[in-house]
């Protein structure tokens, strides 16, 4: 769709503050009287705390408070409270290098750091376990007081895979692994906590889900919800890392309470690498069967996810990947078994794709293996099995619109598939992978709705209060575009107010590619309400009927048969509403996902997703025979957007995600030494730089969506879901080396090339 | 970061005196790109730093066709890289320096710091060793000159005694008919060397025989090392397939790679072989074309 | 220990009294509240703290404040003139080179340093010169486009 605003390449509304350095992030925040907190973390992966002595730290000049488990509520916490397993501080034992043990607040960061070093902790080391499958063995050390280290399990079953495999002409089986990778937001995790004299807690932080984090803070501190306020600033990256409350928040809150001063806690980069949560590492045993003609008949998987030391988004991640597993290609017989397993490592959490990038890597690589066995071109097998619009899936989900076929065609064409796939010269090759992802978040809270408010000021500007959480993906710009489109305004006349749980309506936050869809829909509903009121007002003012009024260029214009054109500016109109009608223009709008009332998430998990977005990525690589280096020459990323709200923003999401995918596939990995992250800086945790960026050809396929705003689908996460598989498949095409484990290091490639 | 003192003497002698008096607890501060990182990482905890910023003359660079190149230790890497004499007379040094860190790092980091930091992975020492460079060391009273290849004693360790400062880097004038190259293996555009191979060949254009060869390696031993075994195989011969293969086989003989967080011993050795071969091939084609590209 | 520091930042001379171990970045951000310059790693690895010091881009996290004695430092706050965006800022805005924006100040300062050194860099030079600035959001594509557009003196 192309409107006056929607569909255009409009610059972000926050780009000028960001380009001039005036945009304020939480790290920039300084409150009067503010002091600095620092957390003492466990140096050991698994140990009993024998004793703890904070007296030297307390005695250090400049130290304002020292707190330990004795000073905080010690109820257990987790994102899913039924899995609660973590206290604010460890009192009896520590379970990973980085576990919180104590904290200090001091007049400056240097003093706080010095004080931390003065705290004496006597540990009794326990045997630790770092690999999931080792942690599952009978004699593995138990990390929690549970019978085993398996923390959560889920199983889904559709059709009869066992029988189906029997009747398949071709079956492939394999094990695939993905590593834990770090979000690497350029702004480190940090917060400032402060209490009002009345006893209300404000926390400024970079939260992707402020309203649920507010609940989490209240829950862990055992204080009433109304006493907590979360305030966001601009945010230096999220990618899933800031969905669930970090322990810094309650720790800063307690330090602030104790000292009566605002307390800031900020990670160092090294601390961020070694303690911030990572992507869940998946080990996946996959089996796929097809008929001679390439139609997929059955697929099973066993996923073992690396939980790290405590629970976080594991169940959501496993559930979500199970659903995408059951959706792509509509395979009639499916078995999915997933579990999260505790290890003595930093926790894992959501990371752009909720497990889908991991599982898509395994499945889409295996699909190539299957195609090869059948003797079929990888693009062809994907064409044959592609989902189609209106499809009702075997697993129960419905795919209202689907552009997978178009994605496949354009991705294949733009990489010159036919010509390059069969070229067998030097170590160059092309690869392809498909994916499906949610385009609208998830419903697993049982609630998927939100509101916004609009007011028209007497200067003609329109403000919208939205819970849309801006972390760089552009949702505030999209919200402003929707309002401008509906009310005939330019972008400058729309203000977006957000970022404060006292101000914004309840919302679940920015994750699951849901913000444009859910928050955008609410903005659209609100703007349309406002439009009605504005037009009614204009009709009164211009003495005509509402149906003759249009809103354009900041004016309400009356045009009708046989009447002279009349118009009035938005400002005058608002003033008229205030002064003459005694009814200032302010409206509320809402969007609510019509979740079926009898929906049982346990048995019908597939209804978790409202809309789906499909995509195909192809790429070309060249491998250096002497060093094993994989050079990515080009990516084509064909993604279904439903309706492209803003081409520039959509491209940016996908380009950035593809680069994260390249990092995930070829470069990124946490290197551990007895549980301690040793590559805790950007020189040794290899993040893609300007030098690694290939040409990225983004193709946006518009298929519409019956529920999205203007037919839009969310595309925030999709961009990295198929990237790893496309790369691994291209590597196979180039070298005949089948890669089943990420990251694909140069060393691995070189050894594999030499073995051949 | 742990607090430390800061002094900024205005003469070389004063700087030496302060360092001497501190008995090793104070450190020379050049560009600070290693010193600050190490202090922040708590790998180092100096009581104080002695800035050479105000000591005159330490950033000079001059070239004499007979005597060679004289570089002040405080010359920033970006100035080394772009200095005319370096670009024209020692292009492989310019190329090696260009691989270091980022523009911002090279705008601060000094050549003296890159040497004195004595990281096995540092990019300028191997090529400087290949060019036969030495350093002039002063303690405020006396001076001594040490060949760069004798300067390093271990990771982060050098022959420098308390109170001594590197005053100058001296690179002999390049002989006629040479070929020099530095190849760095790295995991991304911004990286510390996994290995570095510096090679300098002096040849006779008439019979194409390699008269002298110096190969120095980064990141494969506690210090930058010469690959002498390999040099011996090549010297006095023409670079043909057989000699190159023989040389490559010996390329790791003087190395003792280790496995660390960046990569493994085995891969390092492979990279040494690969890049030594590349360097020798490049030398061969240069020589075969009579010293022109 | 503290000592006197004379420094000019964005054309404004300052006479400060600063601890000897503090960095230029800390002085800029914490003492002078010029928070447009960002902090991402304090190890010289991300480029978020890039400022221009005596005409050259540096990682302000790796410069001891007292090493900037007598120097002229320019930060992102100094780029706009009479409220008008600098052409580099303009280009970053127009080309969608900004997402979360945390790398942006550093990117823009590095671009300025690059174009002042060489007003006509090729794509390879842009990538090499900018490699000390990391961005986790954009995948660099649009940043390179934005820089090329400034180089080419207008919108592409
Ligand atoms: C992000 C990043 C990337 C990097 N990448 C690379 C790379 O790719 N390759 C590479 O080689 N290096 C790299 N480095 C390391 C570093 O930049 C260099 O080693 C630099 O040249 C050091 O110079 P400096 O002037 O900053 O030294 P400083 O940090 O000031 O000093 C380093 C050491 O040398 C001593 N010293 C300095 N000058 C003298 C002197 N004249 N006499 C006696 N002692 C002295 C100091 O006391 C100190 O111990 C990187 C650093 C960073 C932060
Ligand atoms: S903060 Fe200085 S380079 Fe990252
Ligand atoms: S825009 Fe977020 S890091 Fe670059």
Best C105, C129, C137, C145 residue to mutate vs chain A (most A CBs within 10 Å):
C137
Which atom of ligand 2 approaches the CA of C49 most closely?
2
Best C42, C65, C114, C132 residue to mutate vs chain B (most B CBs within 10 Å):
C132
- Residue ID of nearest Cα to ligand 3 atom 2: C100
Given a cut of 70, is residue A100 above it in pLDDT?
yes
Domain ranges for chain A: 26-126+186-237+242-275, 278-443+601-755, 449-592
- C-beta of C106 in contact with ligand 2 (< 6 A): no
Distance CA A60, CA B173 (A): 59
Least confident of A34-38, A154-158, B9-13: A154-158
pLDDT digits (tens, 9 = 90+) for A75-90: 999 999 999 999 999 9
pLDDT digits (tens, 9 = 90+) for A270-295: 999 999 999 999 999 999 999 999 99
Given a cut of 90, is residue A601 above it in pLDDT?
no
Distance CA A514, CA A441 (A): 4
pLDDT at B292: 61
CA atoms within 13 A on the CB side of A731: 33
CA atoms within 13 A on the CB side of A599: 20
Could you tell me where in chain B the CATH 3.30.465.10 domains are found? 61-171
Given a cut of 60, is residue B83 above it in pLDDT?
yes
Q: Considering all CA atoms of chain A, what is the largest pairwise distance in Å, rounded to the nearest integer?
A: 91
Torsional sign, CA A521, A524, A530, A533: negative
Distance CA B95, CA B22 (A): 38
- Say whether C139 and A655 touch across the interface (CB within 8 A): yes
Given a cut of 80, is residue A602 above it in pLDDT?
no
**Closest Cβ opposite residue C99 in set A17, A652, A687:** A652
Task: Determine the Cα angle at A630 with ends A624 and A632, to 5°.
Answer: 120
- C-beta of C141 in contact with ligand 3 (< 6 A): no
Residues of A in contact with B271 (CB under 8 A): 627
C51 CA to chain B: closest CA distance, Å?
Answer: 9
Residues of A in contact with B267 (CB under 8 A): 746-747, 750
- The distance of Cα B82 from the centroid of its chain, to the nearest Å, equals 17
Enter the CATH code of domain C87-151. Answer: 1.10.150.120
For residues A548-565, average pLDDT? 94
- Residue A115 dihedral angles phi and psi, to the nearest 5°: -65, -40
B64 CA to chain A: closest CA distance, Å?
Answer: 37
Domain A449-592 part of CATH 3.30.365.10:
yes
pLDDT at C154: 58
Which atom of ligand 1 approaches the CA of B165 most closely?
42
**Closest Cβ opposite residue C89 in set A20, A28, A655:** A20
Type and span of the H or E element at A658: helix A647-662
Contacts of B among chains (3+ CB pairs under 8 A): A, C
Which atom of ligand 3 approaches the CA of A237 most closely?
2
pLDDT digits (tens, 9 = 90+) for C63-87: 999 999 999 999 999 999 998 999 9
Domain A278-443+601-755 part of CATH 3.30.365.10:
yes
For residues C42-69, average pLDDT? 98
* Helix A570-579 vs helix A520-542: crossing angle, to nearest 10: 70
- Residue ID of nearest Cα to ligand 3 atom 4: C135
- Residue A86 dihedral angles phi and psi, to the nearest 5°: -130, 135
pLDDT at A446: 83
- Say whether C40 and A186 touch across the interface (CB within 8 A): yes
Could you tell me where in chain C the CATH 3.10.20.30 domains are found? 2-75
Token digits of residue A84: 């609660």
Could you tell me where in chain C the CATH 1.10.150.120 domains are found? 87-151
Token digits of residue A126: 């326990």
Residues in chain B: 293
pLDDT at A715: 94
Token digits of residue A694: 């290939």
- Say whether C131 and A691 touch across the interface (CB within 8 A): yes
Residue A646: CB partners within 8 Å, gap ≥ 6?
A6, A7, A8, A9, A10, A474, A477, A478, A481
Q: What CATH class is the domain B178-288? A: alpha beta
Enter the CATH code of domain B61-171. Answer: 3.30.465.10
Token digits of residue C107: 């990117």
Residues of C in contact with A12 (CB under 8 A): 93, 96, 98-99
Ligand nearest the Cα atom of residue B33: 1
pLDDT at A744: 98
Given a cut of 70, is residue A567 above it in pLDDT?
yes
Given a cut of 60, is residue C155 above it in pLDDT?
no
Token digits of residue A56: 């030297």
pLDDT at A1: 67
Enter the CATH code of domain B5-51. Answer: 3.30.43.10
For residues A725-750, average pLDDT? 97
- Say whether B105 and C57 touch across the interface (CB within 8 A): no
- C-beta of C63 in contact with ligand 2 (< 6 A): no
Token digits of residue A453: 């408010």
Given a cut of 70, is residue A388 above it in pLDDT?
yes
pLDDT digits (tens, 9 = 90+) for B226-255: 999 999 999 999 999 999 999 999 999 999
Distance CA A191, CA A467 (A): 20
- C-beta of C39 in contact with ligand 2 (< 6 A): yes
Given a cut of 50, is residue B32 above it in pLDDT?
yes
Contact status, residue C77 vs residue C34, Cβ threshold 8 Å: yes
pLDDT at B173: 97
- C-beta of C4 in contact with ligand 1 (< 6 A): no
For residues B150-176, average pLDDT? 97
Distance CA B53, CA B110 (A): 11
pLDDT digits (tens, 9 = 90+) for A298-337: 999 999 999 999 999 999 999 999 999 999 999 999 999 9
Residue C152: CB partners within 8 Å, gap ≥ 6?
none
Ligand nearest the Cα atom of residue B41: 1
Evaluate whether A278-443+601-755 and A449-592 have a shared fold. Answer: yes
**Closest Cβ opposite residue C136 in set A11, A20, A185:** A185
Q: How far is the CA of C48 from the centre of ligand 2 (A)?
A: 5
Distance CA B278, CA A498 (A): 58
How many CB pairs below 8 A link A and C?
173
Q: How far is the CA of A104 from the centre of ligand 3 (A)?
A: 31
Could you tell me where in chain B the CATH 3.30.43.10 domains are found? 5-51
Residues of A in contact with C140 (CB under 8 A): 655, 659, 688-690, 693
Smallest CA-to-CA distance from C107 within C59, C55, C63, C143 is with: C143
C5 CA to chain B: closest CA distance, Å?
Answer: 12
- Say whether C63 and B32 touch across the interface (CB within 8 A): yes
Ordered DSSP codes for B14-78: HHHHHHHHHTTSEEEESS-TTHHHHHHTTS---SEEEE-TTSTTTT-EEEETTTEEEE-TT-BHH
CB crowding C91-117: b at 16 or more within 10 Å, else e: bbbbbbbbbbbbbbbbbbbbbbbbbeb
Does the bond joining B157 to the residue before it have cis omega, within 30 degrees of 0?
A: no
> Given 3.40.50.300, 3.10.20.30, 1.10.8.100, 3.30.420.480, which CATH number is that of C2-75?
3.10.20.30
Distance CA B93, CA B63 (A): 14
pLDDT digits (tens, 9 = 90+) for B123-157: 999 999 999 999 999 999 999 999 999 999 999 99
- C-beta of B79 in contact with ligand 1 (< 6 A): no
Q: How far is the CA of A207 from the centre of ligand 3 (A)?
A: 16
pLDDT digits (tens, 9 = 90+) for A465-517: 999 999 999 999 999 999 999 999 999 999 999 999 999 999 999 999 999 99
Count of Cβ atoms closer than 10 Å to residue A187 Cβ: 31
Under CATH, domain A26-126+186-237+242-275 is a member of which superfamily? Answer: Aldehyde oxidase/xanthine dehydrogenase, a/b hammerhead (3.90.1170.50)
* Helix C87-94 vs helix C141-151: crossing angle, to nearest 10: 140
ipTM for the whole complex: 0.98
State the burial class of residue A626 (Cβ atoms within 10 Å of its Cβ: 0-12, 13-18, 19+). middle
Q: Is A492 on the interface with C (CB under 8 A)?
A: no
- C-beta of B31 in contact with ligand 1 (< 6 A): yes
pLDDT digits (tens, 9 = 90+) for A394-453: 888 889 999 999 999 999 999 999 999 998 778 999 999 999 999 998 888 888 899 999
- Say whether B108 and C58 touch across the interface (CB within 8 A): yes
Confidence of residue A756 (pLDDT cuts 50, 70, 90): confident
Contact status, residue A661 vs residue A639, Cβ threshold 8 Å: no
Contact status, residue B286 vs residue B293, Cβ threshold 8 Å: yes
Given a cut of 60, is residue A709 above it in pLDDT?
yes
Token digits of residue A134: 């080792």
pLDDT at C156: 38
């Amino acid at each position: 769709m192309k409107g006056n605003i929607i569909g255009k390449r409009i610059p972000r509304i926050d780009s000028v503050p960001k380009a001039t350095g005036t945009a304020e992030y939480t790290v920039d925040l300084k409150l009067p009287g503010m002091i600095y907190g620092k957390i003492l973390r466990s140096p050991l992966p698994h140990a009993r705390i024998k004793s703890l002595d904070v007296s030297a730290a307390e005695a250090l000049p400049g130290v304002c408070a020292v707190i330990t488990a004795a000073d905080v509520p010690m109820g257990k916490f987790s994102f899913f409270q039924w899995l609660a397993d973590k206290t604010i501080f460890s009192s009896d034992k520590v379970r990973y290098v980085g576990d919180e043990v104590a904290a200090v607040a001091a007049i400056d960061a240097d003093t706080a750091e010095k004080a931390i070093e003065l705290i004496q902790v006597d540990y009794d080391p326990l045997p630790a376990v770092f690999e999931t499958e080792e942690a599952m063995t009978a004699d593995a050390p138990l990390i929690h007081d549970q019978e085993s280290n398996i923390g959560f399990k889920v199983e889904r079953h559709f059709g009869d895979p066992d029988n189906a495999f029997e009747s398949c002409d071709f079956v492939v089986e394999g094990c695939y692994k993905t590593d834990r990778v770090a979000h690497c937001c350029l702004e480190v995790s940090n917060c400032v906590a402060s209490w009002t004299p009345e006893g209300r807690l404000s926390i400024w932080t970079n939260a992707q889900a402020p309203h649920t984090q507010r609940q989490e803070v209240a829950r862990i501190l055992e204080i009433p919800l109304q006493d907590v306020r979360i305030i966001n600033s601009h945010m230096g990256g999220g990618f899933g890392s800031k969905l669930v409350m970090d322990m810094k928040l309650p720790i800063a809150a307690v330090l602030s309470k104790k000292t009566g001063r605002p307390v800031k806690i900020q990670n160092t980069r090294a601390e961020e690498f070694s303690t911030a949560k990572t992507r869940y590492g998946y080990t996946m045993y996959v089996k796929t069967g097809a008929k001679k003609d390439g139609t997929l008949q059955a697929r099973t998987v066993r996923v073992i996810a690396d939980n790290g030391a405590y629970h976080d988004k594991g169940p959501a991640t496993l559930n979500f990947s199970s659903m995408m597993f059951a959706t792509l290609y509509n395979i009639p017989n499916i078995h999915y078994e997933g579990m999260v397993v505790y290890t003595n490592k930093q926790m894992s959490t959501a990371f752009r794709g909720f497990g889908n990038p991991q599982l898509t890597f395994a499945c889409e690589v295996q699909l190539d293996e299957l195609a090869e066995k059948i003797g079929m071109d990888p693009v062809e097998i994907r064409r044959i099995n592609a989902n189609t619009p209106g499809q009702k899936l075997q697993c129960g989900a419905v795919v209202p619109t689907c552009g997978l076929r178009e994605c496949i065609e354009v991705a294949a064409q733009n990489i010159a598939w036919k010509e390059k796939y069969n070229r067998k010269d030097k170590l160059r090759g092309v690869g392809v992978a498909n994916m499906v992802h949610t385009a609208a978040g998830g419903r697993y809270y049982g609630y998927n709705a939100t509101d916004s408010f609009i007011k028209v000021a007497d200067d003609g500007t329109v403000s919208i209060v939205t819970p849309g959480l801006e972390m760089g993906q552009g949702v505030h710009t999209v919200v402003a575009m929707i309002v401008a489109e509906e009310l005939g305004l330019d972008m400058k006349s729309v203000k977006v107010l957000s970022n404060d749980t006292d101000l914004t309506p309840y919302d679940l936050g920015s994750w699951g590619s849901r913000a444009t869809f859910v928050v955008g829909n609410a903005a659209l509903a609100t703007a349309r309400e406002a439009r009605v009121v504005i037009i009614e007002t204009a009709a009164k003012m211009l003495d005509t009927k509402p149906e003759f009024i249009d809103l354009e260029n900041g004016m309400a214009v009356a045009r009708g048969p046989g009447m002279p054109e009349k118009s009035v500016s938005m400002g005058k109109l608002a003033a008229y509403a205030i002064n003459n009608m005694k009814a200032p223009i302010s409206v509320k709008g809402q969007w609510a996902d019509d979740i079926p009332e009898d929906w049982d998430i346990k048995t019908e998990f597939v209804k978790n997703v409202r809309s789906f977005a499909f995509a195909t990525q192809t790429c070309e690589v060249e491998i250096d025979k002497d060093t094993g280096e994989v050079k990515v020459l080009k990516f084509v990323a064909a993604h279904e957007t439903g309706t492209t709200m803003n081409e520039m923003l959509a491209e940016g999401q996908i380009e950035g995600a593809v680069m994260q995918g390249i990092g995930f596939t070829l470069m990124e990995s946490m290197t551990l030494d007895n549980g301690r992250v040793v590559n805790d800086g950007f020189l040794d945790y290899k993040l893609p730089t300007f030098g690694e960026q290939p040409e990225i050809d983004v193709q946006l396929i518009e298929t519409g969506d019956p529920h999205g705003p203007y037919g839009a689908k969310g595309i925030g996460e999709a961009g990295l879901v198929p990237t790893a598989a496309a790369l691994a498949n291209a590597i196979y095409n180039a070298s005949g080396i089948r890669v089943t484990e990420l990251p694909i290091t140069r060393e691995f490639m070189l050894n594999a090339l030499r073995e051949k | 970061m742990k607090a430390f003192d800061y002094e900024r003497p205005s003469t070389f002698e004063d700087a030496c005196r302060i360092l001497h008096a501190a008995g090793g607890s104070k450190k020379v501060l050049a560009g600070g790109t290693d010193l600050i990182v190490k202090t922040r990482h708590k790998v180092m905890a100096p009581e104080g730093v002695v800035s050479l910023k105000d000591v005159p003359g330490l950033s000079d660079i001059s070239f004499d066709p007979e005597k060679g190149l004289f570089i002040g230790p405080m010359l920033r890497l970006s100035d080394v890289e772009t200095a005319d004499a370096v670009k024209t007379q020692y292009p492989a040094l310019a190329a090696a320096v260009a691989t270091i860190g980022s523009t911002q790092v090279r705008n601060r980091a000094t050549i003296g710091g890159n040497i004195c930091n004595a990281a096995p992975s540092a990019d300028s020492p191997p090529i400087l060793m290949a060019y036969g460079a030495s350093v002039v060391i002063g303690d405020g009273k006396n001076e001594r000159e040490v060949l760069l290849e004798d300067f390093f004693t271990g990771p982060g360790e050098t022959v420098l005694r308390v109170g001594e400062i590197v005053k100058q880097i001296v690179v002999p004038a390049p002989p006629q008919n040479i070929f020099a190259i530095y190849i760095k293996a790295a995991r991304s555009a911004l990286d510390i060397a996994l290995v570095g191979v510096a090679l300098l060949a002096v040849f006779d254009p008439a019979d194409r025989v390699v008269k002298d060869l110096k190969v120095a390696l980064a990141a494969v031993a506690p210090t930058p090392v010469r690959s002498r075994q390999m040099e011996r195989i090549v010297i006095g011969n023409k670079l043909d397939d057989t000699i190159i293969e023989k040389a490559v086989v010996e390329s790791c003989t003087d190395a003792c790679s280790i496995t660390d967080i960046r990569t493994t011993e085995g891969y390092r050795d492979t990279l040494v072989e690969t890049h030594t071969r590349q360097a020798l091939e490049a030398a061969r084609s240069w020589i075969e074309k009579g010293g022109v590209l | 220990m503290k000592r006197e520091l004379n420094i000019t930042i964005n054309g404004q001379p300052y006479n400060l009294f600063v601890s000897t171990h503090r960095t230029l970045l800390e002085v800029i951000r914490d003492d002078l509240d010029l928070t447009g310059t960002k902090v991402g790693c304090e190890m010289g690895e991300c480029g978020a703290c890039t400022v221009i010091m005596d005409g050259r881009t540096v990682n302000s996290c790796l410069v001891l404040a007292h090493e900037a004695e007598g120097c002229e430092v320019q930060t992102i706050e100094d780029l706009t003139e009479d409220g008008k965006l600098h052409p580099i800022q303009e280009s970053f805005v127009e080309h969608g080179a900004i997402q979360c924006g945390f790398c942006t100040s550093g990117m823009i300062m590095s671009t300025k340093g690059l174009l002042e050194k060489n007003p006509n860099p090729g794509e390879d030079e842009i990538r090499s010169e900018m490699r000390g600035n990391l961005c986790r959001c954009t995948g660099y594509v649009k940043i390179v486009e934005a820089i090329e557009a400034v180089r080419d003196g207008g919108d592409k």
